[in-house]
């Protein structure tokens, strides 16, 4: 995506956030109507191991702590594709079958996907969650999403926005107050971050903001290696 288009997208997300009076609160309860007793929710992710990015993530999380749901155990990551509940016998529209997983693994192994860079920027926010902006500078995220969505229809009602979630809002806070807090967070230049692995991660839906568990990993390799 051209730089101008990326910047327009991030401004659009920010303007939408400011259009709300308050943030969307995460409640510490059992969302049983959603998970229906299912135990593993799957997402394709990019884990973040870059020390500079992790340092910015930790600083942003500490800065926004007064607004954030606690505890928050989810590791820093960029979501590539929301899959659904992992199962051998799909029953619901948001199930992710073992057949779909097998097809994804085949599709990801067929083309050579080389390591690529993304850039991590400053803070922005959805209604329910503040995040660090992610810029797909070399088109690697978009390429992988095209591969994954070739055989799978993602349950998504809005355009994909790559991001690095800082946490979840703990209450219905005035968005103007939150925006002022974010504006005072000091960030320097965007940080380049190499992506050399993608992971099928799952989490237990009964634990709000619980940790991700790796189920499958795909190493990205440079041509000739």
Q: Which residue has the higher pLDDT, 111 or 183?
A: 183
Reduce the DSSP state of residue 52 to 3 states and report it: helix
Q: Residue ranges per domain, the chain?
A: 3-219
- Angstrom distance (rounded) from CA 190 to CA 185: 14
Distances (CA, A) of 13 to 37, 90, 124, 195: 33, 34, 8, 24
Query: For residue 65, what is the DSSP state?
Result: G
pLDDT grade, residue 2 (50/70/90)? very low
pLDDT in the model for residue 166 = 98
- Angstrom distance (rounded) from CA 134 to CA 53: 11
Q: What is the CATH number of domain 3-219?
A: 3.90.1140.10
Residue 60: Cβ within 10 Å count: 21
Question: Nearest-CA neighbor of 168 among 209, 205, 121?
Answer: 209
Query: For residue 35, what is the DSSP state?
Result: H
- Angstrom distance (rounded) from CA 99 to CA 216: 14
pLDDT in the model for residue 153 = 82
- Angstrom distance (rounded) from CA 20 to CA 188: 28
Q: Kindly report the backbone phi and psi dihedral angles of residue 69, in degrees, each rounded to the nearest multiple of 5, phi listed first.
A: -65, 140
Distances (CA, A) of 114 to 1, 12, 134, 193: 18, 31, 19, 14
In tens, the pLDDT along 147-196 reads 999 989 887 778 899 999 999 999 999 999 999 999 999 887 999 999 99
pLDDT grade, residue 6 (50/70/90)? low
Q: Inform me whether the pLDDT recorded for 1 exceeds 50.
A: no
Place of tokens 């095209």: 146
Q: Tell me, rounded to whole angstroms, the distance of Cα 196 from its chain centroid.
A: 17
Q: 209: phi > 0 → left, psi -120 to 50 → alpha, else beta; which?
A: left
- Specify the pTM: 0.92
Place of tokens 């979630």: 165
**Six token digits for residue 140:** 């690697």
pLDDT in the model for residue 222 = 77
pLDDT in the model for residue 62 = 98
């Amino acid at each position: 995506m051209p730089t101008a288009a990326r910047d327009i997208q991030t401004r659009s997300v920010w303007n939408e956030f400011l259009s709300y009076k308050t943030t969307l609160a995460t409640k510490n309860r059992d969302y049983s109507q959603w998970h229906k007793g299912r135990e593993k929710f799957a997402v394709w992710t990019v884990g973040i191991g870059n020390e500079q990015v992790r340092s910015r993530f930790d600083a942003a999380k500490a800065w926004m702590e007064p607004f954030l749901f606690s505890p928050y155990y989810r590791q820093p990551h960029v979501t590539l594709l929301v899959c659904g509940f992992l199962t051998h016998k799909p029953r619901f529209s948001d199930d992710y079958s073992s057949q779909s997983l097998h097809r994804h693994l085949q599709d990801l192994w067929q083309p050579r996907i080389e390591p690529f860079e993304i850039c991590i920027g400053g803070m922005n926010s959805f209604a329910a969650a503040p995040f660090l902006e992610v810029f797909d500078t070399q088109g690697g995220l978009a390429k992988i999403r095209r591969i994954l969505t070739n055989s799978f229809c993602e349950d998504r009602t809005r355009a994909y926005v790559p991001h690095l979630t800082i946490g979840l809002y703990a209450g219905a806070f005035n968005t103007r107050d939150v925006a002022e807090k974010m504006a005072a967070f000091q960030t320097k230049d965007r940080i380049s971050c190499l992506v050399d692995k993608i992971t099928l991660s799952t989490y237990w839906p009964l634990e709000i903001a619980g940790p991700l568990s790796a189920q499958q990993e795909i190493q990205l390799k440079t041509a000739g290696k």
